[in-house]
């Protein structure tokens, strides 16, 4: 019955689409998509209709969890970039272009030029807002932490060149929260930036070349800890989910050098479980210098995460 409903809705939506009644067609595609949320074809048509009807925020909601599906063909990537540009998010648009699965140098150049042109136009029409971003960057430590996060996110309104310069300024700041720095570093990794950046990493001046680093989700140490955690069948499933999120946060707080710090994922997981009162290993690990160092980091993480609460 559901398949028949979806078929009828799609047929009716297609007729409206041919008549360029995009909002009306989107309404029917949305009904079909709610019945079959895994139907990629319907989801794609829904995104297209939302975009054509200038309802890009609604289109973006659909795209949020399915970006990779739009990287295989030029037409899909173009649609994805156009929706992202409407937000406007020029850095994410450039990141999408670096992640495409198709090869067409001419089309890539066209899309890159589209992004550059849109950003220049935005800069001209929103000069005051752009100036405000620069002012907030200079005063970022005087702002509440939640507002600092927003300021960092607003860097996506800038051109690539201005974005890179501003990110470098923030990474050098010894007092900026590590979670914000991690987000900025991951932005650079998504851009596959080849330049070497400096970062004040917990009081130490370090260098990193973003192109050579994985995204947080692909960190070797994180992947191994999550895999080891899955073997603890005695733990409640809901608690495991919460613990997975917590461990991911820990990995982010150490980014981009997470894999350099977490060289023994098994020990880290053991200490994390102990940290949450799930392992009685204090006596066996109390003389272990490596365990003591992990415990020091975990206490540091608690302090840093408390700042967001």
DSSP assignment of 109-167 equals HHHHHHHHHHHHHHHHHTHHHHHHHHHHHHTGGGS-HHHHHHHHHGGGGS-HHHHHHHH
Give mean pLDDT, residues 163-188: 97
Q: Percentage of residues in the chain with pLDDT exceeding 90?
A: 81
Provide the token pair at 22. 């995009």
More confident residue, 106 or 308: 106
Give CA–CA dist 16/26, Å, rounded: 9
pLDDT of residue 279: 63
Banded model confidence at residue 240, pLDDT cuts 50, 70, 90: confident
pLDDT of residue 5: 87
pLDDT over 80 (residue 140): yes
pLDDT over 90 (residue 283): no
Banded model confidence at residue 282, pLDDT cuts 50, 70, 90: very low
Give mean pLDDT, residues 278-304: 77
pLDDT of residue 99: 95
pLDDT over 70 (residue 287): no
Give mean pLDDT, residues 11-37: 92
Banded model confidence at residue 65, pLDDT cuts 50, 70, 90: confident
- What are 185-226's pLDDT values in tens digits? 999 999 999 999 999 999 999 999 999 999 999 999 999 999
CB 169 within 8 A of CB 296: no
Give mean pLDDT, residues 123-130: 92
* Long-range contact pairs involving 6-14 (C-beta distance under 8 Å, separation at least 24): 6/32, 6/35, 6/36, 6/39, 6/42, 9/35, 10/42, 10/45, 13/45, 13/49
Alpha helical stretches, state H, 144-288: 145-153, 160-171, 178-190, 220-230, 237-253, 258-261, 265-275, 282-285
pLDDT over 90 (residue 288): no
Residue among 196, 302, 69, 214 nearest 80 (CA): 69
Give CA–CA dist 2/277, Å, rounded: 47
Give mean pLDDT, residues 77-97: 96
Give mean pLDDT, residues 241-265: 96
pLDDT over 80 (residue 1): no
State the chain's mean pLDDT as an integer.
Answer: 92
């Amino acid at each position: 019955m559901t398949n028949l409903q979806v078929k009828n809705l799609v047929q009716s939506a297609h007729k409206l689409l041919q008549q360029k009644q995009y909002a009306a067609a989107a309404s029917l595609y949305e009904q079909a998509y709610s019945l079959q949320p895994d139907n990629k074809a319907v989801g794609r048509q829904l995104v297209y209709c939302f975009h054509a009807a200038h309802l890009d925020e609604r289109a973006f909601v659909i795209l949020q969890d399915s970006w990779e599906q739009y990287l295989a063909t030029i037409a899909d990537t173009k649609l994805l970039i156009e929706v992202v540009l409407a937000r406007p998010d020029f850095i994410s648009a450039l990141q999408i272009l670096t992640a495409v699965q198709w090869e067409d140098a001419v089309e890539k150049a066209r899309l890159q030029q589209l992004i550059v042109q849109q950003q220049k136009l935005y800069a001209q029409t929103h000069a005051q807002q752009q100036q405000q971003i620069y002012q907030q960057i200079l005063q970022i430590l005087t702002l509440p932490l939640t507002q600092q996060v927003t300021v960092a996110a607003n860097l996506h309104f800038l051109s690539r060149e201005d974005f890179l310069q501003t990110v470098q300024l923030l990474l050098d700041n010894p007092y900026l929260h590590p979670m914000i720095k991690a987000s900025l570093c991951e932005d650079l990794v998504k851009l596959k930036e080849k330049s070497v950046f400096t970062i004040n990493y917990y009081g130490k001046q370090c260098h990193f070349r973003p192109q050579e680093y994985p995204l947080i989700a692909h960190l070797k140490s994180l992947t191994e800890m999550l895999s080891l955690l899955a073997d603890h069948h005695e733990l409640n499933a809901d608690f495991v989910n919460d613990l997975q999120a917590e461990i991911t946060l820990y990995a982010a707080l150490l980014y981009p050098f997470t894999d350099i710090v977490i060289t023994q994922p098994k020990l880290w997981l053991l200490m994390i479980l102990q940290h949450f009162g799930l392992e009685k290993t204090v006596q066996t690990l109390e003389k272990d210098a490596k365990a003591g160092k992990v415990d020091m980091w975990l206490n540091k993480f608690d302090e840093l995460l408390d700042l967001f609460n």
